[in-house]
A and B are shown apart, each in its own frame.
Chain A
Amino acid sequence: MPKKILIIEDERSLREALVDILRLKNFQTLSAKNGKDGVRIALREHPELILLDLIMPKMDGMAAFKKIREDIWGEKVPIIILTNLNITHEQFVADAITHKSTYYLIKSDWKLHDIVKKIEEIFAE
């Protein structure tokens, strides 16, 4: 049974790139283009991993992160914060990654294939 991954990303081109590569690597994907939809889909579909962008309309990633983590299921789901904000510039990111099963990757520094590898590693743990 392929693993189900939720991609919450407002930028269409990036969202589609992530969907394409993950499907190519035999994952099942769900996607949302803002935090609000993302939280709704997450809580309904219970994906096995979430890729979460931070700056988004309607509800940003920080708020979505808090909402998901408040849920009993969501407390433990691995979340990769996939952003272009710097951990050294953002207190939120610095705080968030202290939470268990939360990861942080900078989009422009990470290759798609390395992101996939990271996901596979997380599932292997």
Chain B
Amino acid sequence: METKTIISASDDIILNLKVLAREKESVRRKLAVTAAKLAVTAKKLATTAKEKESVRRKLAVTAKEKESVRRKLVVTAAKLAATAEKLAATAKEKESVRRKLVVTAAKLAATAEKLAATAREKEIVRRKLAVTAAKLAVTAEKLAATAEKLAITAAKLAVTAEEKESVRRKLAVTAEEKEEVRQKLVVTAAKLAATAEEKEVVRRKLVLTAAKLAVTAEEKESVRRKLAVTAEEKEEVRRKLVITAEKLKMSYETLENKVLERTKSLEMARAKEESILLSIGDGLLATDEKGNIIFINKTAEKLLGKKGNEVVGKKFFDVIPLEDEKGAFISLEKHPVNIVLATGAKTAALSAAYYKAKDRVRFPMAIMATPVVLNKKTIGAIKVFRDITSEREIDKAKTEFVSLASHQLRTPLSTVNWYAEMLLAGDVGELNKKQKKYLDEVYRSNQRMVELVNALLDVSSLELGTFVIEPKSTDVCELARNVAQEQKPQIDARKIKFRLVCEKHILPMQADPKLLRMVIQNILSNSVKYTPEGGKIKLSIVLANTENILLKISDTGYGIPKKQHSQIFTKLFRADNVRDKDTDGTGLGLYIVKSIVEKSGGKIWFESPEENRGTTFYVTLPIKGMPKKRLNSSSNI
């Protein structure tokens, strides 16, 4: 059992050994393969090493070459640098040389110029010298000539002196001879004198005789001359008479012509006046002092529907009956012609009269009468009248324009106003902050537009005269208090101290409260707008005198620039100093105020001593109030 066991064990061992041997073999083979692979790898590595070495060597070589090249480059660079330096040096030298050359050139140029200048000067001097030389030559010649002449003259003088001497000598001899002769002559003269006296006596006698004869002759001549003069005078008178006659004839003719011309021109003037009177567009009627018609023109005939010969000589009042608006007869006392004839008034007018001609519709007539005055006495009246139907129509059109403009412009503005208002009030839900802000801008701009349109409508209404004035008993102080109350929010916002002072004895006046309100409201709102924060405004109402009340509104505001004082009531004008402080103004307020005040019979003025020292406005209004004014027709659009 044991052996068996051992055998089987050794078999096992052998078997194991065999297995082991096989495994060893296999390992060995694997090792061999691995070794072979390693060898191959080693070879490859060796090869690679060699290659690397070769590459390294090559690299070394290359490095060396590079180094050599670098060194060469350095050298070259150094050389280049040196060359560059040299070049630079050369360039500098060149530059310096160039500069020197430039300087030298400049110097040369200067020298050349100087030389040229000198040459020119020399030339000038040379020329001057030449001229001087020429002049000298001429002078020398002249001198020579003069010298010659002098020599000749000297010679001549010498000769003359000799001659004179000779003459003088001869004269001396002659004088002696003359003396002798003179003495002889004296003797002869004495002899002759005796004979002469005798002759003189005879001559005087002869002269006397001759004189006597001459007197007779003169007398004869004088008579003859007188006769001749008379004849001439006669002739002259005759001539004058002829001339006068001619002149008279001419004058007569001229007069005749002038009379003719005058007559013609008078005739022309008369014809002209008559044709003017006859053909003027207005009806014209003349009466004597009793109101009898003496003339009517064609237009009058046409308007009245009556011929001249039907009415001349009749009383105007009977021929032209007038009615008022409601058809009632207008009495004689109210008739303009009667007014001027009866009272001597310079003119009388009637604008609301109606006349109805035969077969015609009634028409409105405007009448104006003036007296004809001779030597301070009224001797008649002239009545001018016209059909004012078309004027009435124009008035109506004006009124309708304002109505239409009011309506058309304000309707869309009202729409914007109301809807924006409802949105802002949250009537249809709350808005957010931004929405509210935007809508507020829309609302305020629209509000501004409303104000502008209102002001423009008031202006056109005032200008066109389509303004209703309805005076009623009005307490001015109460009204002013109301206006101030309305503006309290603005006054408070600007921290302005406002005072209203009303005199005790002011009774209610006859005024249209709407218009009076506009006046106070405009001036007060200007004061509020143009007074800086913390300023003062005072409105006082006092009796100016027995007939007028005075409104005085003073502030401590910006004032009105002096040079613009004259423009302050002008339509659309705004003073320079407030334009930028308040851009909303229309420039219409004071224009409207002035129109209203003046239409009411009042006055407006202001004081503004200098800028930023405030303004005071004064308004006077008559206590008896504004004149009532109705519009002829209400609109029917």
Which A residues are closer than 8 A to B by beta carbons? 11, 13-14, 17-18, 20-21, 24, 55, 60, 62, 83-92, 94-95, 106-109, 111-113
Having A89-B403, A90-B403, one finds 9 other A-B pairs with CB under 8 Å, namely A14-B411, A55-B407, A84-B406, A85-B635, A88-B467, A89-B466, A94-B470, A108-B453, A109-B450
Q: Are A86 and B634 in contact (CB under 8 A)?
A: no
Cβ-defined contact, A107 with B414, below 8 A: yes
Q: Which of A14, A24, A85, A88 contacts B418 (CB 8 A)?
A: A14
Whether the pair B406, A17 counts as a contact (CB closer than 8 A) is no
- Find B634's partner among A21, A24, A92, A111 (CB 8 Å cutoff): A92
Q: Are B407 and A84 in contact (CB under 8 A)?
A: yes
Residue contact A84 to B410, C-beta cutoff 8 Å: yes
Contacts of B390 in A (CB 8 A): none
User: Which B residues fall within an 8 A CB radius of A?
Assistant: 399, 402-403, 406-407, 409-411, 413-415, 417-419, 421-422, 425, 427, 450, 453-454, 457-458, 461, 466-468, 470, 514-515, 630-631, 633-637
List of B residues within 8 angstroms of A85 by Cβ: 403, 406-407, 635
Q: Are A89 and B411 interface neighbours, CB within 8 A? A: no
Instruction: Specify the chain B residue showing the minimal Cβ separation from A109.
Output: B450
Please, how many angstroms separate the alpha-carbon atoms of A111 and B635 in the complex? Answer: 26
How far is it, in angstroms, between the C-alpha of A86 and the C-alpha of B402 when the chains are bound? Answer: 9
Contacting B421 at CB < 8 Å: which of A13, A60, A91, A112?
A112
Instruction: Tell me the bound Cα distance from A72 to B450 in angstroms.
Output: 38
Give the shortest distance, in Å, between B168 (CB) and chain A (any CB).
Answer: 134
Indicate if the CB atoms of B468 and A13 lie closer than 8 Å: no
Cα-based distance from A35 to B148 in the complex (angstroms) = 140
Which residues of B are found within 8 Å of A107, using beta-carbon distances?
410-411, 414
Chain B residues contacting A109 (CB-CB under 8 Å) are: 450, 454
12 CB < 8 A contacts A-B = A13-B415, A14-B411, A60-B637, A85-B635, A86-B406, A88-B458, A89-B461, A89-B468, A91-B630, A108-B410, A108-B413, A112-B421
Question: What is the CB-to-nearest-CB distance from B545 to chain A, in angstroms, rounded to a whole number?
Answer: 29
CB of A59 to closest CB in B, whole Å = 11
Q: A85 to B461: give the CA distance in the assembly, Å.
A: 12
Report chain A residues within 8 Å CB of B419.
13, 17
Q: When the two chains form their complex, are residues B414 and A88 in contact, meaning their CB atoms are under 8 A apart?
A: no
CA distance A40 to B486 in the complex (A): 40
- Residues of A close to B413: CB separation below 8 A: 108
The residues of B that contact A24 with a CB separation of less than 8 Å are 427
Does B414 contact A108, Cβ atoms closer than 8 Å?
Answer: yes
Chain B residue numbers with a CB within 8 Å of A18 are 418
Contact of B417 among A89, A90, A91, A108 (CB under 8 A): A108
Q: Is the CB of B414 within 8 A of A86?
A: no
- CB–CB B422/A20 < 8 A: yes
From A17, A21, A83, A91, contact of B468 by CB (8 A): A91
* Cβ–Cβ contact B415 & A88, under 8 A: no
Q: Tell whether, in the assembled complex, residue B634 and residue A91 are in contact, meaning their CB atoms are under 8 Å apart.
A: yes
Q: How far is the CB of A113 from chain B (nearest CB, A)?
A: 7
CB pair B461–A88 under 8 Å, yes or no, is yes
B66 to chain A, nearest CB (A): 96
Contact indicator B468/A88 (Cβ below 8 Å) = yes
Residues on B with C-beta less than 8 A from A11 are 411, 415
How many angstroms from the CA of A36 to the CA of B418 in the assembled complex? 26
Complex Cα gap A83–B410 (Å): 9
Q: Which residues of B contact A106 (CB under 8 A)?
A: 410
CA distance A14 to B466 in the complex (A): 28
Nearest Cβ distance between residue B392 and chain A, in whole angstroms? 14
A18 to B421, CA, bound (A): 12
How many angstroms between the C-alpha atoms of A24 and B421 in the bound complex? Answer: 14
Residues in chain B near residue A89, CB distance under 8 A = 399, 402-403, 406, 457, 461, 466-468, 631
Give Cα A62–Cα B637 distance, bound, in whole angstroms: 11
Instruction: Judge whether A111 and B461 touch: CB under 8 Å.
Output: no
Q: Are A113 and B403 in contact (CB under 8 A)?
A: no
Q: How far is the CA of A65 from the CA of B635 in the complex (A)?
A: 15
A55 to B635, CA, bound (A): 10
Task: Looking at the assembled complex, report how far the CB atom of B377 sits from the nearest CB atom of chain A, in whole angstroms.
Answer: 46
B515 touches A88 (CB 8 A): yes
A22 to B57, CA, bound (A): 111
- Alpha-carbon separation in the docked complex, A24 to B422 (Å): 11
> For A113, what are the chain B residues with a Cβ–Cβ distance below 8 Å?
421, 425
User: Do A17 and B403 contact each other (CB < 8 Å), given the known contacts A90-B635, A91-B634, A108-B450?
Assistant: no
Q: What residues on A are CB-neighbors of B634 within 8 Å?
A: 62, 90-92, 95
Assess the A91–B633 pair: CB atoms within 8 A. Answer: yes
B461 touches A84 (CB 8 A): no
Chain A residues with CB below 8 A from B417, complex form: 108, 111
Tell me, in angstroms, the Cα distance from A60 to B422 when the chains sit together.
28
Q: Which residue of chain B lies nearest to A17 when distances are taken between CB atoms in the complex? A: B418
Minimum Cβ distance to chain B for residue A45 (Å):
24
Chain A residue nearest to B409 (CB atoms) is A84
Inter-chain CA distance A25–B193, complex, in Å, is: 169
Q: Knowing A21-B427, A55-B407, A55-B637, say if A87 contacts B468 (CB, 8 Å).
A: yes
Given A91-B468, A94-B468, A108-B413, residue A86 in contact with residue B461 (CB < 8 A): yes
Q: Which residues of A contact B410 (CB under 8 A)?
A: 84, 106-108
Q: Which residues of B contact A91 (CB under 8 A)?
A: 468, 630-631, 633-634
Known: A89-B399, A91-B630, A91-B634. A111 touches B421 (CB 8 A): yes
Give every chain A residue within 8 A of B466 (Cβ-Cβ). Answer: 89
Inter-chain contacts of A112 with B (CB < 8 A): 418, 421-422
CB distance from A69 to the nearest CB of B (A): 16
| Complexed CA–CA distance, A18 and B408 (Å) | 19
4 A-B pairs with least C-beta separation: A84-B410, A92-B634, A107-B414, A108-B410
| Closest B residue, CB atoms, query A18 | B418
| Chain B nearest CB, measured from A10 CB (Å) | 10
For residue B635, which residues in chain A have a CB less than 8 angstroms away from its CB? Answer: 85, 90, 92
Q: Which residues of B contact A21 (CB under 8 A)?
A: 418, 422, 427
Contacts of B467 in A (CB 8 A): 88-89
Q: Please indicate the chain B residues that have their CB under 8 angstroms from the CB of A13 in the complex.
A: 415, 419
Which residue among B406, B413, B421, B514 has the maximum number of chain A CB atoms within 10 Å of its CB?
Answer: B406
By CB atoms of chain B within 10 A, which of A83, A87, A88, A109 has the most?
A88
Q: Is the pair B414, A84 in contact by a Cβ cutoff of 8 Å? A: yes
Tell me the bound Cα distance from A94 to B427 in angstroms: 34
Judge whether A87 and B514 touch: CB under 8 Å: yes
